[in-house]
Structure 1
Amino acid sequence: MKIWVSFILVCCFIIVSGCSNQNIVPKEEASNVVDTYGITKFNVTIDTREEKGALQASFTEKKERSEAEYTNKKEDVALHGKKALEKIMEAFEKMNPDPEAEETELIKSAAEAFGFKEYQMIKLEVTFKGFDSKEIMFSK
Structure 2
Amino acid sequence: MQSINFDDGLKSFAINGDENRVIRFNPADPDMMTRYYKALQMLKEAKGSLLSDVNLDTEGNLSEEDKLGEASRAMEETNSLIRKAMNLMFNSDVYDTIFAGQSPFCIVRGKYLFEAFMESLQPVLESEIKAYQKAGEKRMNKYLKEYHK
Whichever structure has more helix as a proportion of its residues is 2
Whichever structure has more strand as a proportion of its residues is 1
TM-score where L is the length of structure 1: 0.27
Bigger CA radius of gyration: 2
TM-score where L is the length of structure 2: 0.26
